Amino acid sequence: MGLSFHHLERFLLEEEIFLENGLKYKKYFIELGGLKAKDHVLDIGSGLGRMAIPLTNYLHKKASYEGFEIVKSAVDDCSKRITKKFPNFSFRHVYIENDLYVKNGACASKFVFPYDQNNFDFAWASSVFTHLEPDAVINYLKEARRVIRPGGRFLATFFLMDQESIITSQKSKYPFKFKIHDAWYMSKISKGANVAFEEKKIVQWANDAGWKKAKTFHGSWSGRKGATTDFQDIIIFS
């Protein structure tokens, strides 16, 4: 599959924002997630390397970065641009289906991450759970727990629903109009386009997956009061 329009658009028209966001997340990884320069890290849904690029001058040579992604051209592009110069950065293509990005492939709800258990100190999924259905989120929380060592951390971003954001988001630019079982969608046609979850449900699924703590930093997407960290909501699981 070629680079999707969504990717190309972002990369070509918003390159500055793309780089700026990566730098912001590098800061969140270090300051909120406790990322260290010696860590072995995993980037779930690594896209065009938005998070990887700013880490190339932070992670030590003996540290490692692994990213996996369902869009093959994005993986090829990152391997060409990043791995060539930084061999401790690896990108892997996985055949998973998502109705926004990839039409044919295996089901994310059954996908086993291609790594041994306790392999990583730190992992993240930035703007990925906002494209997954509930069963896939449940599986990815479990798989992240399996491949991250005890004491490691996992940062994930979401559109989180609670009593406040259910109301404020309806008047925002991001109204999730369709509630189906455990998720809210913006579009009934493409469920992978934008997905929101109840914050309590995510914390419950994370507990079931073996995560002991979940610390939330609410973002501004829903128009809620006092949200200062980022656009999407961030949860650090530990």
Ligand X SMILES: C[S@@+](CC[C@H](N)C(=O)[O-])C[C@H]1O[C@@H](n2cnc3c(N)ncnc32)[C@H](O)[C@@H]1O
Interactions with ligand X, residue window 74-93 (CB under 6 A): 74
Q: Looking at 52, 128, 138, 206, which residue binds ligand X (CB under 6 A)?
A: 128
Q: How far is the CB of 225 from ligand X (least distance, A)?
A: 26
Q: 120-125 and 89-93: which strand pairing? A: unpaired
Shortest Cβ contact with ligand X: which residue?
A: 47
The type of residue at 155 is L
- The smaller minimum CB distance to ligand X, of residues 59 and 136, is found at 136
Q: Looking at 42, 55, 96, 227, which residue binds ligand X (CB under 6 A)?
A: 96
Q: Looking at 39, 66, 69, 143, which residue binds ligand X (CB under 6 A)?
A: 69
Q: Looking at 90, 127, 165, 169, which residue binds ligand X (CB under 6 A)?
A: 127
Interactions with ligand X, residue window 156-185 (CB under 6 A): none
Q: Which stretch binds ligand X (CB under 6 A): 56-64, 67-75, 193-201, 202-210?
A: 67-75
DSSP string across 8-22: HHHHHH-HHHHHHHH
DSSP string across 173-234: S----EEETTEEES-SS-TTS-EEEEHHHHHHHHHHHT---EEEE--STT--TT--S-SSEE
Establish if 98 lies at the interface with ligand X (CB under 6 A): yes
User: 227-233, long-range: CB within 8 Å, 24+ apart, which pairs?
Assistant: 229/28, 229/32, 230/24, 230/28, 230/157, 232/127, 232/130, 232/157, 232/158, 232/159, 233/157, 233/158, 233/159, 233/160, 233/199
Tell which phi-psi region holds residue 105, choosing left (phi > 0), alpha (psi between -120 and 50) or beta: left
Establish if 54 lies at the interface with ligand X (CB under 6 A): no
Q: Looking at 50, 145, 191, 218, which residue binds ligand X (CB under 6 A)?
A: 50
Locate tokens 């509630």: which residue?
A: 179
Q: Looking at 35, 51, 53, 59, which residue binds ligand X (CB under 6 A)?
A: 51
Q: Looking at 71, 82, 147, 148, which residue binds ligand X (CB under 6 A)?
A: 71
Positions that interact with ligand X (CB under 6 A)? 44-45, 47, 50-51, 69-71, 74, 96, 98, 101, 108, 126-128, 131-132, 136
